[in-house]
Amino acid sequence: MGVSLKYIFHGWVVERSVFPINIARRIRAPFSSNHIVSTSSHDTTGGVTIAPGHGFGFPNLKKRGHGSRSWIMIDQHGNAKVLELDKATIMRHCSLPSRDIRLLDPLFIYPSTILGREKAIVVNLEQIRCVITSDEVYLMNSLDGAVDQYKSELCSRLQAKRDQADDLSFELKALELALELTCMSLDAQAKGLAMEINPVLDELASSISTLNLERVRRFKGHLLGLTQRVQKVHDGIEQLMDDDGDMAEMYLTEKKRRMEAYASNNSCLQDNTSVGAKGVWNSAPVSPTTSTNEAKRFQGEFRSIASSDRHGSFMSSSNYVEDVVELEMLLEAYFVTIDHTLSKLSSLKEYIDDTEDLIKIKLGNVQNQLMKFELLLTAATFVATIFAVVTECPVSVDPGQQASAVVLSSGSTGFWVAAAAVA
């Protein structure tokens, strides 16, 4: 028989044998249920009981992806309410897949997106992340000012237009406000960046300094990031405008009304069929001619109901196309706005590039001046060297040779000076 030892490990009493073989086996599975005995309530070691389903040593650890978040629910009357909802609840209520809810997660970086689904519209525009249904908006709550501005503005608009007739449905009003605030915010950021960077570029064009170059480099990085954000919103709106099917999916109120009308027609048809069948079975025996007339009457009623259903579907489909045109015009208005913002950023980038080209030209001119000065200095050094050689000649040298040397050195000096002047 082997000797076993018990010791406390994170509130658990762990039993291990001293035999090497058993120790090796139990090291492979150190947290097996056969080797762990929970402490009783009279344990004086200060251990902590670990509840099932939680991590070992982490009693408050939750499963990833199942935590609740703070959402702001806004109904069609302009009433706002803060709720704590988890991901599964939003998915069930709005009939959305997990990948659509993941687009709204602030922990992930996704481009600006507008998605039309069966019962909801998923909106991810900068800091505005929300799920829009036919009668409610679920806005992800955060400390950003854009979220509070969207909530207050949407509530005020819905409350102001409660008693007024409006052509836009609830979901399109919520979508329009998200596009409006996003485009206004990006345009304001572009204007602010232009006001900051234009004076620096003007100063840099007149006098080149290390401080101005560093400021322009920093502003250029901000410009690149803002341009990418504006480009993503621009592409998202353009992609949505190019697909009529995606725009048709966003008419949630119309789809809900058609589904309710279809369900009502089906219930009426089932009631008429059941009443007619009950009357036939409970009636007295009739002749074959009477039975044939009853069957024809039921068939006529069924055809009339079906034709009315088809006519209603046709009319709603025609209205559906007109509504898509209306949504396309709405998107086009904000597409023009965001395209104008993108054009301003492109012009600002071109201004920076032109300033950089001007700086390069100035630096090239300075470099040419330095090369010219270096050439003159080299020529002067050469002449001085020649005169030094002539003066060091012995006295016995013929005067004619000295004159020839002076003429040669003078000619060489003149040639180098002329070459430097031409350069």
Q: Band of the pLDDT at 144, cuts 50, 70, 90?
A: confident
Mean pLDDT of 278-294: 48
Instruction: Give 233-245 pLDDT, tens digit per residue.
Output: 999 999 999 888 8
Architecture of domain 65-166: Beta Barrel (2.40)
Q: What is the mean pLDDT of residues 175-198?
A: 94
**Over pLDDT 70: what percentage of the chain?**
59
Both tokens of 348, joined, read: 């600002």
Give long-range contacts, CB 8 A cutoff, 24+ apart: 120-125.
Answer: 120/94, 120/95, 120/96, 120/252, 121/171, 121/174, 121/175, 121/250, 121/252, 122/96, 123/175, 123/178, 125/178, 125/179, 125/182, 125/233, 125/236
In this prediction, residue 42 carries a pLDDT of 40
pLDDT at 403 over 70: no
Instruction: Parse the chain into domains and list their residue ranges.
Output: 1-61, 65-166, 170-358, 366-422
Question: Which pLDDT value is given to residue 9?
Answer: 46
pLDDT in tens, 50-108: 444 444 444 444 445 457 889 999 998 889 999 999 889 999 998 899 898 888 888 88
What are the C-alpha distances in Å from 387 to residues 374, 376, 398, 400, 413? 20, 17, 17, 16, 11
Domain at 170-358: CATH architecture: Up-down Bundle (1.20)
Task: Decide if 112 contacts 179 (C-beta within 8 A).
Answer: no
Residue 247 pLDDT > 50: yes
Among 184-188, 271-275, 284-288, 379-383, the least confident range: 284-288
Residue 399 is predicted with a pLDDT of 56
Residue corresponding to tokens 């007739």: 165
CA–CA distance, 410 with 423 (Å, rounded to integer): 20
Helix/strand/coil for 58: strand
pTM greater than 0.85 (yes/no): no
